[in-house]
Chain A
């Protein structure tokens, strides 16, 4: 069911400005045909690195589930008021490009597995479908939460790709991780821009929804992949992987957005800092 999410919305002109910045930064695009696949060689990866590639392929391959969130919660049909439609149409300019880029990530990682010899095509298609078919559910009440959650998730992913890149001694995968990391950094910047605009415009009104996102934060598919945390620990043995590393960047966004912290914002920053160390 498609139902417009609640909470305040940014004026369409502000969404347009954020989308414009995002699109301008991504004018130099890339795809799977930019790589010399003949050089892809799984024998140059450790067992832990192979496991990491399998893990991130599943995460990226779930793009249809992630994209559906925006389609569902920011509908483009006659169910919403005209002003809401106008807002959602501006947001769609972002989400469709973002989805295209994330889909490229999924396709490149899939192809890497096949070309490097890590997996055969048909088996990989079937195995990806096991998690891919599961619903990705993030049930937020406020629109701002749909920008806060991916802000953390995109930054955490970017940081992991950077860390994994540091330990990879295989040129094709190294190039892929560089590209992925740069894309995730741009995606983070868009979500950070959106959240900052929400904070500037609505201030304390959006603090509690942001807090709620962090209080319940789980990385994508953490609730659907059985034993996710074991796998996460395993890939963390290969390269540092801790989504709370992204919380520092969220705090920076909060600090940039407010000239003088209100009590609510101060409490929120303290809360996020605490989650940085003890949240499960």
Chain B
């Protein structure tokens, strides 16, 4: 997976949660982060969608646990959208 996607997703999550990016690890459970709540998670997902111009399936969104999950989903969705492309 592109490190760029993980970096971008991490920055988005950190911004929405009001945390330094360094505190948001790729494999940290999002619900365990300080100040986490469902609205912040969904706002982060909405921003990720806008950033990559994609729309994620609802059941996929509610299954996200970590930044890596989100980044993996972004890469997969981009690949479906542009089979010959390489994402952002």
Binds A, one of B1-9, B41-49, B71-79, B80-88: B41-49
Residue of B31, B39, B41, B46 ringed by the most chain A CB atoms within 10 A: B39
Q: Quick check: B37 and A233 within 8 Å, CB to CB?
A: no
A278 to B36, CA, bound (A): 6
Nearest-Cβ distance from residue A228 to partner chain B, whole angstroms: 7
The residue from A227, A228, A230, A236 contacting B39, defined by CB atoms under 8 A apart: A236
Question: Interface 1/0s, chain A 264-280, versus B by CB < 8 A?
Answer: 00000000000001111
**B27 interface residue (CB < 8 Å to A):** no
A104 to B55, CA, bound (A): 36
Q: How many residues of B contact A (CB 8 A)?
A: 13
**A131 interface residue (CB < 8 Å to B):** no
**B52 interface residue (CB < 8 Å to A):** no
Nearest-Cβ distance from residue A119 to partner chain B, whole angstroms: 25
Chain A, Cβ-Cβ closest to B29: A278
Given contacts A229-B58, A229-B61, contact A278 B31 (CB under 8 A): yes
Given contacts A226-B58, A227-B58, A229-B61, contact A278 B42 (CB under 8 A): no
Contacts of B62 in A (CB 8 A): 280
Contacts of B58 in A (CB 8 A): 226-229
Given contacts A280-B38, A280-B41, contact A233 B31 (CB under 8 A): no
Nearest-Cβ distance from residue A279 to partner chain B, whole angstroms: 6
Chain A, Cβ-Cβ closest to B30: A278
Interface size class of A (residues with CB under 8 A): 10 to 19
**Chain A, interface SS category:** helix
Nearest-Cβ distance from residue B12 to partner chain A, whole angstroms: 14
Chain A, Cβ-Cβ closest to B35: A277
Contacts of A228 in B (CB 8 A): 58
A236 to B38, CA, bound (A): 13
Nearest-Cβ distance from residue B56 to partner chain A, whole angstroms: 10
Contacts of B42 in A (CB 8 A): 229, 232-233, 280
CB proximity to B under 8 Å, residues A193-248: 226-230, 232-233, 236, 242, 244
Q: Quick check: A233 and B46 within 8 Å, CB to CB?
A: yes
A244 to B39, CA, bound (A): 10
Contacts of A277 in B (CB 8 A): 36-37
The residue from A226, A227, A230, A279 contacting B38, defined by CB atoms under 8 A apart: A279
Nearest-Cβ distance from residue B75 to partner chain A, whole angstroms: 21
Contacts of A229 in B (CB 8 A): 42, 58, 61
Q: Quick check: A278 and B37 within 8 Å, CB to CB?
A: yes
Q: Quick check: A242 and B36 within 8 Å, CB to CB?
A: no
Contacts of A226 in B (CB 8 A): 58
Contacts of A278 in B (CB 8 A): 31, 36-38
A277 to B31, CA, bound (A): 9
Contacts of A230 in B (CB 8 A): 46
Q: Apart from A226-B58, A278-B31, A278-B37, what are 17 other A-B pairs with CB-CB below 8 Å? A: A227-B55, A227-B58, A229-B42, A229-B61, A232-B42, A233-B43, A233-B46, A236-B39, A242-B37, A242-B38, A244-B37, A277-B36, A277-B37, A278-B36, A278-B38, A279-B38, A280-B41
9 A-B pairs in the complex with CB atoms less than 8 angstroms apart: A226-B58, A228-B58, A233-B39, A233-B46, A242-B39, A279-B38, A280-B31, A280-B42, A280-B62
